[in-house]
A and B are shown apart, each in its own frame.
Chain A
Amino acid sequence: MITGTDRNLGKRRRKGQVSHAIFLAATMVGIVALSFLLGDVARKGIGWLDWQFLTSLPSRFPERSGISSALWGSIWLIGLTALFSLTIGVGTAIYLEEYARRGWLTRAIQTNISNLAGVPSIVYGILGLAAFVRAMSLGRSVMAGALTMTLLILPIIIVASQEAIRAVPRPLRDASFALGATRWQTVRRVVLPAAAPGILTGIILALARALGEAAPLIMIGALMFVPFVPTSPLDQFSVLPIQIFNWTARPQPEFRLIAAAAIIVLLVVLLMMNAAAVLLRNKYQKRAEE
């Protein structure tokens, strides 16, 4: 007999349905808020988004304003930050995972790196102002900004790279060592290729974060109004989030509309970076499996 045993089934089923509804509602809060936000930005900004907007310098007049200086500033900043954080971050991760002796010093460094990931970005801005702008006299340059951003995202990149390196199966390293490979040969030819997808994903996601940061750059003195496109690492600069912040603070309502257009540009760049992360990861994964 299948039916008839009363195991409180009705009540249990109701509980299941209620929890289902609660979790669905929780998910919907995020989705609704986000789509409202995106919808609002798109509605206001899309009309201002044209080639003129992308290629023009900022101006006192909203209809003549463009984001070319902020866009190029962001590209310069992210390019330099990628260069610095990749070399230093992956280098540190390799050292900590492959070379460092397991001892109290290594553990202390490790704990510090994890903690640094939680330090507010404005603090990195203060550090960047003292160290790069003043002490190294780089001024309010893209270089100083990129070095500050590098410090900001290094902990994320190091931890992500370490995890990717640690996930490389031990038997693969053993196979390499057993053939007479040195540690560097093993790292270079076995560990890094296998860890590359994870490392790349970590780097791109960290850079995406750097792209959206305004606070530390305002701290080091990135400019609000930059009527030129940076042409060298020592030029002054602005970036998209600062430009957006600047425009939203203006009294004329049109500036809020072009701020929305700039937000769309920023979002598109972010989406492109995330897509690149996924593509690169898939490509390397496929190559590893071939």
Chain B
Amino acid sequence: MSETYTVLETRGLSLWYSGFQALRDISLGIKSNQITAIIGPSGCGKSSYLRCFNRMNELITGARVGGKVLFHDEDVYSPEVDPTEIRYRIGMVFQKPNPFPKTVYENVAFGPRINGYDGDLDELVEGSLHRAALWDDVKDRLGESSAKLSGGQQQRLCIARALAVEPEVILMDEPCSALDPIATLAIEELMHELSQDYTIIIVTHNMQQAARVSDMAAFLMMGEDRAGFLVEYGPTEQLFTNPRDKRTEDYITGRFG
């Protein structure tokens, strides 16, 4: 693996939804080609935090961000930056598989098409499906509706769709929460392979999953005022075996949450 560096960073990041503060003062750096897990109890703002990286929060009326999100040391929220550019370079996979009601092929081709890709689309679609470990399942069904795939296949289709625009970072928002254990395992294996070429940030409420897949882990909690804040951030192994903070220890040993 090549030298890792900090791809993404939040500095004093806060988030408000119409006056209600959802996140408070979160600072951490995401290393390239690693899998970073964001863990914490329900409602602590894990998903909201994830959606700050690709400016998805601004699609929600009344959302406001304070602090900075740096992508290659450039402020993602600076006025000169077009949010579509950020989302093009930072892909996202959602909690529930959300393929478009189109064919398998059209789902993967959607991103390249809207971004004006002028290479060989067939090749790109096939390559993306290969990288998402879905090609063998769907190579004879490219013209079929995405709705005919199983839940796990749909989620891998969504991953292939995200990969097709060739992002640097992939954000995954509890990508396995709607899947059965076997499909979950397949996605986790896939994440390992993808981390060779991509930086992955995954939100999960599943401790075992975080321990299994991630290199780094961030533990968020909800404050008295329900705003999420960062408790501890470090290498996953250290966070799980030798946490520095008492609250992290309580959480991972299952004393709350």
Interface residues of A (CB under 8 A from B): 102, 169, 171-182, 185, 189-190, 193-194, 288-290
Given contacts A185-B114, A189-B110, A189-B114, contact A178 B103 (CB under 8 A): no
For B96, give the chain A residue with the smallest CB separation: A171
Task: Count how many chain B residues have C-beta atoms less than 8 Å from C-beta atoms of the other chain.
Answer: 28
The answer to whether B84 and A181 have CB atoms under 8 Å apart is yes
Q: How long is the Cα–Cα vector from A173 to B147 in the complex, in angstroms?
A: 17
Q: How long is the Cα–Cα vector from A48 to B62 in the complex, in angstroms?
A: 65
Q: How long is the Cα–Cα vector from A174 to B56 in the complex, in angstroms?
A: 8
The answer to whether A180 and B98 have CB atoms under 8 Å apart is no
The answer to whether A175 and B103 have CB atoms under 8 Å apart is no
The answer to whether B101 and A194 have CB atoms under 8 Å apart is yes
- In chain B, positions 5-21 with a C-beta closer than 8 Å to chain A are none
The answer to whether A190 and B61 have CB atoms under 8 Å apart is no
Contacts of A177 in B (CB 8 A): 56, 59, 84, 87
Q: How long is the Cα–Cα vector from A86 to B92 in the complex, in angstroms?
A: 35
Q: How long is the Cα–Cα vector from A194 to B147 in the complex, in angstroms?
A: 14
Contacts of A178 in B (CB 8 A): 54, 56, 87, 91-92, 94, 162
Contacts of A189 in B (CB 8 A): 110, 114
CB-based closest 9 A-B pairs: A180-B88, A171-B98, A179-B111, A178-B92, A290-B145, A288-B101, A180-B87, A180-B84, A181-B114
Write the B129-158 contact mask toward A (1 if CB under 8 angstroms, else 0). Answer: 000000000000000110100000000001
The answer to whether B145 and A174 have CB atoms under 8 Å apart is no
Instruction: Report the minimal beta-carbon distance from B83 to chain A, rounded to whole angstroms.
Output: 8
Write the B101-124 contact mask toward A (1 if CB under 8 angstroms, else 0). Answer: 101000000110011000000000
Instruction: Report the minimal beta-carbon distance from B216 to chain A, rounded to whole angstroms.
Output: 23
Contacts of A181 in B (CB 8 A): 84, 114
Q: How long is the Cα–Cα vector from A288 to B99 in the complex, in angstroms?
A: 12
For A175, give the chain B residue with the smallest CB separation: B98
The answer to whether A289 and B145 have CB atoms under 8 Å apart is yes
Does residue B85 face the partner (Cβ distance < 8 Å to A)?
A: yes
Contacts of B100 in A (CB 8 A): 172, 175-176, 190
A-B contact pairs, 29 of them (CB 8 A): A102-B61, A169-B98, A172-B100, A173-B59, A174-B98, A175-B94, A175-B100, A176-B110, A177-B56, A177-B59, A177-B84, A177-B87, A178-B87, A178-B91, A178-B92, A179-B87, A179-B88, A179-B91, A179-B111, A179-B115, A179-B161, A180-B84, A180-B87, A180-B114, A180-B165, A182-B84, A288-B101, A289-B145, A289-B147
Q: How long is the Cα–Cα vector from A1 to B115 in the complex, in angstroms?
A: 73
- In chain B, positions 158-174 with a C-beta closer than 8 Å to chain A are 158, 161-162, 165
Contacts of B165 in A (CB 8 A): 179-180
Contacts of B158 in A (CB 8 A): 175
Interface residues of B (CB under 8 A from A): 54, 56, 59, 61, 84-85, 87-88, 91-92, 94, 96, 98-101, 103, 110-111, 114-115, 144-145, 147, 158, 161-162, 165
**Other-chain contact of A180, B94, B115, B145, B147 (Cβ < 8 Å):** B115
For A290, give the chain B residue with the smallest CB separation: B145
Q: How long is the Cα–Cα vector from A179 to B101 in the complex, in angstroms?
A: 16
Contacts of B103 in A (CB 8 A): 290
The answer to whether A180 and B162 have CB atoms under 8 Å apart is no
Contacts of A174 in B (CB 8 A): 56, 59, 92, 94, 98
Contacts of A288 in B (CB 8 A): 101
Contacts of B114 in A (CB 8 A): 176, 179-182, 185, 189
Contacts of A175 in B (CB 8 A): 94, 98-100, 158, 161
Q: How long is the Cα–Cα vector from A193 to B101 in the complex, in angstroms?
A: 9
Q: How long is the Cα–Cα vector from A172 to B154 in the complex, in angstroms?
A: 13
Contacts of A102 in B (CB 8 A): 61
Contacts of B61 in A (CB 8 A): 102
Q: How long is the Cα–Cα vector from A286 to B84 in the complex, in angstroms?
A: 31
The answer to whether B110 and A180 have CB atoms under 8 Å apart is no
Q: How long is the Cα–Cα vector from A74 to B85 in the complex, in angstroms?
A: 50
Contacts of B161 in A (CB 8 A): 175, 179
Instruction: Report the minimal beta-carbon distance from A167 to chain B, rounded to whole angstroms.
Output: 13
The answer to whether B110 and A179 have CB atoms under 8 Å apart is yes
For B148, give the chain A residue with the smallest CB separation: A290
Contacts of B115 in A (CB 8 A): 179-180
Contacts of A190 in B (CB 8 A): 100
Q: How long is the Cα–Cα vector from A242 to B101 in the complex, in angstroms?
A: 45
The answer to whether B59 and A180 have CB atoms under 8 Å apart is no
Q: How long is the Cα–Cα vector from A21 to B75 in the complex, in angstroms?
A: 71
Contacts of B99 in A (CB 8 A): 175
The answer to whether B84 and A171 have CB atoms under 8 Å apart is no
Q: How long is the Cα–Cα vector from A175 to B164 in the complex, in angstroms?
A: 13
Contacts of B91 in A (CB 8 A): 178-179
Chain B CB within 10 Å — which of A178, A189, A288 has the most?
A178
Q: How long is the Cα–Cα vector from A178 to B159 in the complex, in angstroms?
A: 12
The answer to whether B56 and A172 have CB atoms under 8 Å apart is no
Instruction: Report the minimal beta-carbon distance from B8 to chain A, rounded to whole angstroms.
Output: 16
